Amino acid sequence: MPSPLSADRPAPQPPERGAVDALIHRTRRLRGDVDAVRRDAVRVVDEDDPRTRWQRALCELAVHHLDDLGAHLGQLRDGLSAEPSERPADTADEPAGSLIGRVGSAEWNLLTDEVSWSDELFRIFGRDPEAGGLSLDALPSRLLPEDQPLLTALVTDCLVDGKPIDGEFRIRHTDGRVRTLHMMGEPVLDTDGCTASMWAVLRDVSALRRSQRVVRRTHDSLRREQPGTGHRAAADPEEAVLPPWQTSLRLPEHGPGALDIAAHYLPSETSALVGGGWYDAMELPDGRTMLTVGDLTGHGVQATSAMAVVMGAVRGMATAGIEPGALLGHLNQLLETSIQPALGSAVCGRFDPATRTLDWAQAGHPAPLLFRDGTGRPLPLPDGVLLGAASGAVYEQVEAHLLPGDVLVLHTDGLARDDAAGHGGARPGTEKLLGLAPRFAEARSAQECVRIVVETFGAAERLDDACVLIARVGA
């Protein structure tokens, strides 16, 4: 494969084979030690014990990483003396979960339209080598629909601006299973400095990502089982109550002006506090889209139960065509007259893709933040008191006009609460969110915007849980 920077640039000198062999030997010994620890952990402790499940998941994740490291080193060593398509004899006993066969390479020649795929890449995609490799134009068709814009943007940035490619996306294999691929690549320049071709290395990280998810789930289960944490009796709100969609949504699914939507729940840092934050989005019968984020007072089972009731009521009223302002009025009456009265805040909007207008109302809740052309601002806040605070309360409904590319952020105040007053109409704690405007402008999807928010606020100490929902207006 040519140099990623220049077609005539001399290749770097490879490492000494003996040094690589020594690293491979040490990696295999370490893998055997970790595997022994894993076997001992499940042998001496109850298999149903949450701590055992968490420890086993950590060991399996470590084994995956060591398998990948060993296979990387093996490919580095074998590249010095063997053809890439040959499997060396001493790797015949490699573990099934190793990286061998899960890393492929490709090159797309822009001058001749020639496409070159390695044998490993054909296996990753489940594609017949006789059919040839996919062109850059056809490659996105193998991705899940919500990931296609990301790959298109990555390739465009690489070919036009010379930016390196580093991103993950999901494909649907010919066996029907979804696989996660990590792609890294760079343009190859000719002697005049123009892009002549593009090369890439694609790695199937599906097993690794599954192991990481198992570690997170078993760790959360262990925390809930700990005495005195308040989690044993309370279900995880994200798993038990919040909407089942875990990736981005496109609503409506067809037609122009659709919203690219993603959301995330951040638990409180104080593990005993299982709060009442929620988010939801759904397509309505008339083709419009409902967006809502809210938070109820209280914690534990009572809060999660009330949250489930509220989310069901919101969905039912929105489906029946009740407008956001009136919907919040009915929700206020519901909380006020329930057996266990509660206070809450909420924002509810209804987006029309045909006119790109958002009708919305709020009840004692932070205003949605609108990001456009690299700057952000809160939408002017209509009148609306907390839910359950006043009998017969009326909630003002207003309209906002959105443009293609606009990013709308709905969040609970637990995300960025502080004691300082905001500026320009911003509620306390939103200044840091507004400061993300330049990064949102460069983001290619709502899911990427959510990742930016989680990176910024995920490690912060929160006394309450938090929800964020981001909607990006399509063309």
Residue-by-residue DSSP string for 90-157: GGTT--TTSSTTSEEEEEEETTT--EEE-HHHHHHHT--GGG-PPPTTTGGGGB-GGGHHHHHHHHHH
CA distances from 87 to 79, 83, 120, 151, 187 (A): 11, 9, 11, 31, 28
Q: Look at residue 246 in the predicted model and tell me its pLDDT.
A: 52
Q: Look at residue 117 in the predicted model and tell me its pLDDT.
A: 93
Banded pLDDT at 53 (limits 50, 70, 90): low
Rounded CA-CA distance 303/342 in Å is: 9
Top-confidence residue, 433 or 399: 399
Top-confidence residue, 362 or 474: 362
Q: Does the bond joining 252 to the residue before it have cis omega, within 30 degrees of 0? A: yes
- Spatial CA neighbour of 471 closest among 285, 253, 315, 251: 251
| Measured CA angle at 4 (ends 71, 6), to 5 deg | 150
Q: Which two tokens stand for residue 210?
A: 């599954």
Q: Look at residue 253 in the predicted model and tell me its pLDDT.
A: 77
Q: Look at residue 104 in the predicted model and tell me its pLDDT.
A: 85
- In the chain, the N- to C-terminal Cα span, in Å, equals 38
> Is there a contact between 385 and 363 (Cβ–Cβ < 8 Å)?
yes
Q: Which two tokens stand for residue 5?
A: 């920077």
Checking if the pLDDT of 133 tops 90, the result is: yes
Range 389-418 average pLDDT: 88
Range 398-414 average pLDDT: 93
Q: Which two tokens stand for residue 147?
A: 């990931």
